[in-house]
Structure 1
Amino acid sequence: MKARMRGASKEAKAVASKPAKAIVKDSSPSPSPTANLPETQQAENTASQVGFPIKTQDQGVTLEARSLRESGGFLLLAVQLQNQGNRAVQFRYDNLKVVDERGRMLSATVDGLPGRLPAQSRVFVGTVKVPLALVDTAEELSVILTDQPNQQLQLVLTNIPVLKQQ
């Protein structure tokens, strides 16, 4: 493991060394996002849902990865963000880090999530977009989101399976 991480950034090493207990898989039943699709589409979409949802929480703020799919040359990670804490939280999504299992930092953009997450907020739904060319050999991804400017809150999603379409 040390040889694989030798050239990785400090953040990537921190992700690789984070204990697995930071990840909480939601075992509560939820309606299938493919329930209203024809059976052939349901079967195709089910393969991309293996291992989801994946959740992490820090100081009352929850980040949840719901699903992963490919579209328009991008890998699209559907996420939800909610603040059940008593203080608003500020995020800059250009500081969001996406790392593969080898510790390589990948370029990503975020759509649909607010920069300021109010206290006791509703659930916000968004998408993390990673160019497919960057994940051609990746098997798992990690997403790291830190509040700004304080950097006291860190949300880390690990073991996000990358299932490639055939």
Structure 2
Amino acid sequence: MLWIKRASLRKVNSTVALTLILLLLMLIGGYISAIWGYAIGHEAIEGVNQPDSRPAGKIGFRKNKSQQQQGVVMLKEADVLAAVKARIDGKGKKAKPEKPLIENPQNDKRSSTKSKLVAESESPQPGFPMISKTEGVSLEIASARFSGGALQLKMNFKNEGDRTIRFLSSFLDVTNERGQTLSANTEGFPEELPANGKTVASTLSISTALLDNVQKISLHLTDYPEQRLQLQMLNIPVVR
């Protein structure tokens, strides 16, 4: 019986020891977990500041705001209107007297010279106008002048016949004295010329790059689609 009691006592002691060991391990694990959680939480909230709720801080903020509001100066409407009126009347501080305009006699001479040149350029040129007429239809070259990098020929069309004449600008041939075809642009070219005797003005432009060493040009125009009417203008002088 004594042996059985000793065996049971040993069994109880081992159970108690195991229980104490487990409790100790649980306490150690809980302590380690608490320290670890505190460290993680501290790192998470690091850099986050609590708002300043002290009365002194609020008073300082209100003071700065009041100072900013005091920095704004309100102007009186009467002063503003008086300053504007003085500026308009020329009595303001920054108002400066206008300097009288002094006419430059050289500018007058240049303008008069320029007007003389324009008058001379608009005067009739020698050899113009040139007229070609057939079957009551006439083509007149009123002038030929260089302007804007091109030779411009002022043309006048008139139909005194009994039927309407149709033209195409592509049927207008322009050649130099060597028979070479020159490219030209037309403005106001009449595609239809009614038989009413009215003059229709048009302009023919030829680039100066095509007129090197060219002294005379010729025009040839026929109607469309019959091509029965032949208008020719030969040896038009290229005046430079």
TM (norm. structure 1) is 0.71
Among 188, 196, 199, the residue aligned to 1:120: 196
Q: C-alpha separation between the residues in 1 aligned to 2:200 and 2:189? A: 6
After the TM superposition, which residues 41-80 of structure 1 pair with which residues of structure 2 at under 5 Å, given as runs?
Answer: 41-46=118-123, 49-80=125-156
Task: Provide the C-alpha distance between the structure 1 equivalents of 2:131 and 2:156, rounded to a whole number of angstroms.
Answer: 9
Q: Partner of 1:38 in structure 2?
A: 115
Please state how far the C-alpha of 1:39 moved relative to its aligned partner. 3.0
**8 Å CA contact retained: 1:79, 1:127:** yes
What is the rounded CA distance, in whole Å, between the counterparts of 1:100 and 1:38 in structure 2?
33
Q: State how 1:1-166 maps to structure 2 within 5 Å.
A: 38-46=115-123, 49-164=125-240
Distance in 1 separating the partners of 2:189 and 2:182: 19
Note the residue ranges of structure 2 that are not aligned, 5 or more in a row: 1-113
| Long gaps (5+) in structure 1 | 1-36
Change (3 A) 1:45 1:120: closer
CA distance in 2, matches of 1:44, 1:114: 27
Q: Which has the higher contact order (CA 8 A, sep 6+)?
A: 1
Instruction: Assess, with a 3 A threshold, how the Cα gap between structure 1 residues 44 and 111 changes in structure 2: closer, same or farther.
Output: closer
**8 Å Cα contact 1:94/1:109 also seen in 2:** no
Q: Is the 8 A contact 1:98 1:105 kept in 2?
A: yes
Query: Partner residue of 1:25?
Result: none
Shift of 1:41: 2.8
Query: Structure 2 vs 1, CA of residues 44 and 117 (structure 1 numbering), >3 Å: closer, same or farther?
Result: closer
List per-residue Cα deviations over 1:140-162 (Å, max 9, x = no partner). Answer: 11111110110100100112100
Counterpart-to-counterpart distance in 1, 2:129 and 2:115: 22
**Conserved 8 A contact 1:142-1:158:** yes
For 1:40, give the aligned amino acid.
Answer: L
| Paired letter, 1:83 | N
Output the amino acid matched with 1:53. P
Counterpart-to-counterpart distance in 2, 1:129 and 1:40: 22
Larger strand proportion of the pair = 1
Instruction: Provide the alpha-carbon RMSD of the alignment.
Output: 1.7
Give the whole-Å Cα distance in 2 for the aligned partners of 1:82 and 1:129: 20
CA shift, 1:70, in A, is 1.1
Cα shift at 1:44? 4.5
Q: State which drifts further: 143-152 or 105-114.
A: 105-114
The normalised TM-score by structure 2 is: 0.50
2:198 match: secondary structure: coil
> Counting helix residues as a fraction of each chain, which structure ranks higher?
2
Distance across 2 between alignment mates of 1:81 and 1:44: 23
- Which has more radius of gyration? 2
Percent identity at matched positions? 39
